[in-house]
Structure 1
Amino acid sequence: MSIAPAPPPGGPPPPGRRQRLRARWADRHALPRFGYWLLSRGAAVLTVCGALYVLDGFLIGWANAYNVMTGITSPADVRPQWCAWPLSLTGWAVIPAIIGAAAGYVITEQIQAHHVRELSDVLDELHRLAERPGPPPSSGGGA
């Protein structure tokens, strides 16, 4: 039985967890545009929205925070109002904008995926399909 030799000392050490995370963070530019935005700027926007919701949850109650954010309850009906108004604006403008941007991006990507053929190729195929067919093939047996 032979034992595999140990790797020679002095070779590069295997990458550590920090190096692997740093490499993955550097690879974020290879993501699609929406994925890149979500990791870079979207994470900050969603963090601010979440922090605002948590702050309001502790100050005005979780049910009231949800109702204010979704527009069920007016921010003027809860106390303290100073934190309810930004939450209401976030629920009214920021969250729908993020959802709309995500939907628009997905729809745009699907449309672009179906437009990969050149117009000249499509027209050539249409001309070929529009040509008159040749005579039908003759049958082998005469009757």
Structure 2
Amino acid sequence: MSHPSSPPPPPDWRHLVGRWWVGRHALGRLPYWLLSRGGVVLAACSALYVLNGFLSGWTAAYEVMVGITSPAQVDPQWCAWPLSIAGWAAIPAFVGGAVGYVVTEQIQAHQSQDLTSVLAELRALAEPPAVPPSPPASGSEAPP
């Protein structure tokens, strides 16, 4: 006599996060880059900004990050210098990397098209649209 088996227990949060983290490879290039490399840069810059916001004030942290104020004029300087470097180098590099991936994907999408289909599409765009003949006005006959 067989006993009915109980259903397996639901996976815990560690298994769910692990499965999600392994499954990120199925994403496209840009979402994968944002999760793997871009997320690290964004998290580090955010942590520096929050640390400086608490230590020297939110206005001073913003001004140091965007380069309005020198980090030498802010107290404490030990955390203002890394924020200044991140605002000067890391954030533009992050934005440039994301834009680079988007532009690369667009170029590759257009390169994969067949030349004849591209030429046919260009010819269709270059030809003026055909204007249908106007119907004769009512009440008057067109001359023979």
Give ranges in structure 1 of 5+ residues lacking alignment. Answer: 1-7, 127-143
* Mapping of residues 1-143 of structure 1, within 5 Å: 9-10=4-5, 12-13=7-8, 15-18=10-13, 19-119=15-115, 121=116
Q: Distance in 1 between matches of 2:72 and 2:108?
A: 45
Shift in Å, 1:14: 6.6
TM-score by length of 1: 0.70
Shift in Å, 1:42: 2.2
Number of residue pairs matched?
A: 120
Deviation track 1:17-70 (CA, whole Å, cap 9, x = no partner) reads 534433222210011122112212322222111111111111111100000000
Distance 1:9 1:26, change over 3 A: farther
Moved over 6 A (4+): 123-126
**Aligned partner letter, 2:103:** I
The residue matched to 1:79 in structure 2 has which SS?
A: coil
Q: Distance in 2 between matches of 1:53 and 1:124?
A: 51
Which has the bigger relative contact order, CA under 8 A and spacing at least 6? 2
Give ranges in structure 2 of 5+ residues lacking alignment. Answer: 122-144
The residue matched to 2:69 in structure 1 has which SS?
A: coil
Shift in Å, 1:115: 1.7
**Aligned partner letter, 1:37:** W
Q: Distance in 1 between matches of 2:66 and 2:29?
A: 28
Shift in Å, 1:11: 6.4
Please, what is the CA RMSD of the aligned residues? Answer: 2.6
Identical aligned pairs, as a percentage?
A: 60
Shift in Å, 1:118: 3.7
Aligned partner of 1:134 in structure 2 is none
Q: Distance in 1 between matches of 2:47 and 2:120?
A: 56
